[in-house]
Structure formats: structure tokens, C-alpha cells
Amino acid sequence: SIKVNSLGFRPNDAKIASVTQPAASTFSIVYNQTQEIVIEGNINQPVYQSDVNEKVARINFTKLKQPGKYYIKVGDVKSSVFEISEDVYKSSLYTSMRAMYLWRCGEAVEGEHNGQMYKHAACHTDDGYIAYEDGKEQKKDGVGGWHDAGDYGKYTVNAGVTVGALFLTWEHFNDKLSNLDLQLPSDESNAHFPDFLKEIKYEIDWLFKMQYTDGSGRVSHKLTRKNFSGFIMPEEDNEKRYFTTWSSAATADFVAMMAMASRNFRQYDETYADSCLAAAKVSYQCLLEHPMHVKFEQGEFSTGGYQTDDSDDRLWAASEMWLATGEKQYLDDFEQRLSAIENPVELNWDWGNVGNLGVFGYVLHADEAQNEELYRKVKEAVISIADAIVSNTQQDVYGRPMDKYFWGCNGTVARQSINLSVANLLKPDKKYIDATVSIVGHLFGCNYYGRSFVTGLGVNPPMFPHSRRSAADSIEAPWPGYIVGGGHTATDWVDKEASYSHNEIAINWQAGLVYLLASVN
Ligand code: 9MR
Ligand code: ZN
């Protein structure tokens, strides 16, 4: 069969598709409207790739630039129809960022896709409670934010990599995003914010509530039920939810997010930006007072752990504090931490290793105050990791940027577009854009399954994500625009609701997708 990026290509993009076990030695590209053949070419010798146990040939039709709809034909086999146009990634960017809005907790949401209206009533308006050892409970406001994933919990650490990637999306591509209309409910208090930032602010408003109110700067690790709910709508999930104790990783991520918020929101709301920075400073002080890693207490909770070593989180916090204030103490903190790390840039990263976020901020803001040698070393590392990603996309028979598989690796695949863009900003080269398009292609059909990994978008998309809203509502198609986690090997992904480790949706993976699609728009 023929596997191709079902979202299509912009005219000047590299255009590569994959043919498994080709039945002929030539291919043609057919203009769908007239059935006219516009390109014919030879298929290269197929290459055997062991992880998929297949012989696959890649065909390159980059020279096709004329806008229109086409399909590829090899012998009698046809690919799905794809489009060439400057705008091919536009609606997917909208749908994937609108998906963040549809994840809102604490208020009713609704959004339309393919003629269907997806909606739920206000949920979790009783958030939340603090349980004390003596059995007493105290109510504390924790309403708002996004649900984490297919479950309805809210976790500070996972908010970290999500908000970090979304702010980077804004910082790198705001020229393309400032007019993005997410069809948000009207909200007078934020009327002057662009929609993209309004949506991030919804999470930041909630994050303030995760900070302890005693002035200590500690930040609760999560706010969830004690166990996961069944497949019910969020407004039916009425069991009590509790704040857990703090963790140093959550506190460091909070510092970084609040510092980013203060910087990016300042031009729209000075007072709010000041309160973000003030909150960040209090929690940064807490980190100084607690130099050792502090884990949260999972206790009776069986909801997500997101337990993670905090050194990468502290690195990111220092970097963002420096960017937000320009103060040397933060730069020193960052550079000291950085110089202690042998490989400062990660190829495959997610909520458990956010050091890249700190590194990217640092390296994109060249400044005299930085240590020249360290800066040079880090810049080289950013470029060499990006080059490794490029080379992976060229070697994999389905253009995948990474040769590992794990829980949620589709999110990492999407997030690697950040490594590529940062390298491209430091040392512009078309190969980074080609590799980014290859990632889009892989996630939207050019893969072992020949299917899109994003609900409601692209060819034969997932129909049974592990998503409580999608399972519990009466609409056949799942809530749209969500990337699913993916296989743990090259061939074991299943589109099954029960398989949370293969087919869940999650905010951290989604933010990678938003960055990816913004970068090609
Ligand atoms: O994304 C997380 C993955 O990296 C972990 O291996 C896995 C097991 O701890 O948890 C994943 O996160 C889940 C979280 O714990 C709870 N909400 C759903 C998340 C996505 O599956
Ligand atoms: Zn909710």
C-alpha cells in the first residue's frame, strides 16, 4: 500500500511518500479532478526495515508544486487523496489548539467539527479539598485549568511541559497566531488578549491556585480524585478531588511557567504580568530553601504520578527567571546547573525532562552577560541533536524522527519539531523544515498503519481514543483534534478505547502537535 501525508503539502515542501512491497517499479501522480497523470517516476529499490519487518520504498515528488488535489498510483494501488496548497495545515492548527479549549475544566465548553457539536456542562466546580492527617478536610479553590488527558485530573508537572511548549509556540510564531480565532466564549476581562494567549491564560489562572496560600511558595503536585473515574462525562464526575502535597519538580515548573507568563502577557496586562512574576519569585525562593529533590506523597492516590527528578525543572526555572528579569543571580544559577550536565540537549523529551525548554530560551537570547564558551557549547549541542533528528527522518522508511517507542511517543515525535525550529533559528537550513514536514507526514498517514494519529483529522483517524468525554457522549466520532499516544513498538499501536497506554490523549502531547502545526503554517 501507499502511505502519504494526508494533510498534504505546501507547494515548496519536500514531498515524499512510502510504498510498502511495491507491485511495480514505477509510480504516477494523478490529478484527481481530471484523472490526468501529471508525474511519472521510478520507484527506488525498497529498503528492508527490521522494526516493521517490511520492505518499503520511498518516492520523491517534491517537483510537483501546482496547487490541487492528487493521489499516487503504483500498479493498481492508489493512495488517499492529498492536497497541495499554501493553506493545507491551517485548519488542523485551529482544530488542534481549539482542542486545548475543549479540555477546559470548571466551565461549560462547546465546539463544532464536521457538522457535529461537541459539548459538556460545567464540571468539577467543587475543586478541591485538602486532607489532613487527623482526618480533617479543608476546602480550597482549585477550579479551572485543563483536564490532563483522557482522565479528568489536573497535574502541575504535566502542565509544565505543556504550557512551556505553548508559550514557545507563541514566541516563535506569534506573527502567524495573533489572528487565530479559537471561537472562545466571550470573556470581557481578557478581551484584549489574542485567543492563543487567552487559552494559555486559562491554565495559568488555575496554576495560581496550586500554590500554597501560606506564602511558602510550595506548589501542589496535583489535584485529582483518589482513583480514576469510569467513562462518564466530566460534569457527572462528582467524587471529591484533593490537592496532594507539594513537590520540588512541580514548584520549579510553576516558577518557569509563571515567569514565561509574565513575559508573554506583559504587553496585554501589566498588572497580571506582575502578579505572575511575584508568584514565580516566591516559589523560586522556596527552591533555594529546599535544594534537595522533594517528592510529593502519592498516599492513597492511584491517579497519575508524574514523579520526576527535579534537576531539569530547576534548570528551566532558572532560565525563565533570567529571561523574565534579566537578573544575574538567575543566569548564574542556570549556567552553573548547565555546566554540570554532560549532554545539555535531549533528543527525546517529555514531562520528565524539560531541560530543553530552559536551554532553548537561553540559546535564543544571545546576551553579553552569558558565558561565551558555555553558550557556544550549548548552541552546538542544539544543532547536533537537530541534525540527528533530521537524519532519522531520512533513514526511517516512514520518515519518523526517532527510533524509540514508549508510552506517549507520538507526543515526543511532534515535540521534536521544537528542536528543529530552534536549530533553524540559530542556523537556518531547509533540511530542518523538510524534517518538520516529514514529522507532519508521519503523524498524518505516512506510517506503518497508513492512518492519521489525530482524531477528526487526516486519513482514517483514531475512532476509539482513551478519552472519557468521547466514550461517554452519544456522538460516534471522538472529540476532534487530539493526538493519541501511539505504539510501544513500531507495530503494536491499536485504536482501542481500553488501551490507555497506546490510545490516550494528553495535554503534553497535544502541545507538541500545536507547535508542530504552527511551525508549518
Ligand atoms: O504520559 C505519561 C507516561 O509518560 C507514563 O509512562 C505513564 C505512566 O506513569 O503516565 C502517563 O501519563 C498519564 C498520567 O499518569 C495520568 N493521565 C493520563 C496520562 C497519559 O496517559
Ligand atoms: Zn472538569
Peptide bond into 128 cis (omega under 30): yes
| Euclidean distance between CA atoms 432 and 13, whole angstroms | 11
| Euclidean distance between CA atoms 489 and 516, whole angstroms | 23
Residue 14 vs residues 171, 236, 388, 399, 437: alpha-carbon distances, Å? 26, 48, 18, 12, 7
pTM of the model: 0.98
Q: Which fold has domain 2-84?
A: Immunoglobulin-like (2.60.40)
For 206, residues 6+ apart whose C-beta sits below 8 A from its C-beta are: 105, 106, 142, 143, 144, 145, 146, 154
| Euclidean distance between CA atoms 66 and 162, whole angstroms | 37
| Other Cβ atoms within 10 Å of 362 Cβ, number | 28
Every domain of the chain with CATH number 1.50.10.10 lies at: 90-519
Pocket test for ligand 1, best of 147, 148, 488, 501 (most atoms within 8 A of CB): 148
Return per-residue pLDDT of the chain as tens, 521 residues: 999 999 999 999 999 999 999 989 999 999 999 999 999 999 989 999 999 999 999 999 999 999 999 999 999 999 999 999 999 999 999 999 999 999 999 999 999 999 999 999 999 999 999 999 899 999 999 999 999 999 999 999 999 999 999 999 999 999 999 999 999 999 888 999 999 999 999 999 999 999 999 999 999 999 999 999 999 999 999 999 999 999 999 999 999 999 999 999 999 999 999 999 999 999 999 999 999 999 999 999 999 999 999 999 999 999 999 999 999 999 999 999 999 999 999 999 999 999 999 999 999 999 999 999 999 999 999 999 999 999 999 999 999 999 999 999 999 999 999 999 999 999 999 999 999 999 999 999 999 999 999 999 999 999 999 999 999 999 999 999 999 999 999 999 999 999 999 999 999 999 999 999 999 99
**ipTM (interface predicted TM):** 0.99
What number does CATH give the domain 90-519?
Answer: 1.50.10.10
Grid cell for residue 502: 497506546
| CA 150 to ligand 1: nearest atom | 18
Bridge-based pairing of strands 16-20 and 54-60 is: antiparallel
Give the chain's end-to-end CA distance (angstroms, integer). 29
Pocket test for ligand 1, best of 147, 151, 502, 507 (most atoms within 8 A of CB): 151
Residue 211 vs residues 138, 146, 258: alpha-carbon distances, Å? 15, 17, 11
189: which DSSP letter?
G
Q: Given the residues 113, 124, 466, 502, select the one marked as catalytic.
A: 466
Every domain of the chain with CATH number 2.60.40.10 lies at: 2-84
> Could you tell me the distance, in angstroms and rounded to a whole number, from the CA of residue 7 to the centre of ligand 1?
28
| Pocket residues: Cβ below 6 A from ligand 1 | 148-149, 151, 153, 304-306, 407-408, 500, 504, 506
| Euclidean distance between CA atoms 190 and 95, whole angstroms | 22
Nearest to 41 by CA among 65, 20, 21, 58: 58
| Euclidean distance between CA atoms 391 and 402, whole angstroms | 9
Active site residue 466: yes
| Euclidean distance between CA atoms 249 and 307, whole angstroms | 8
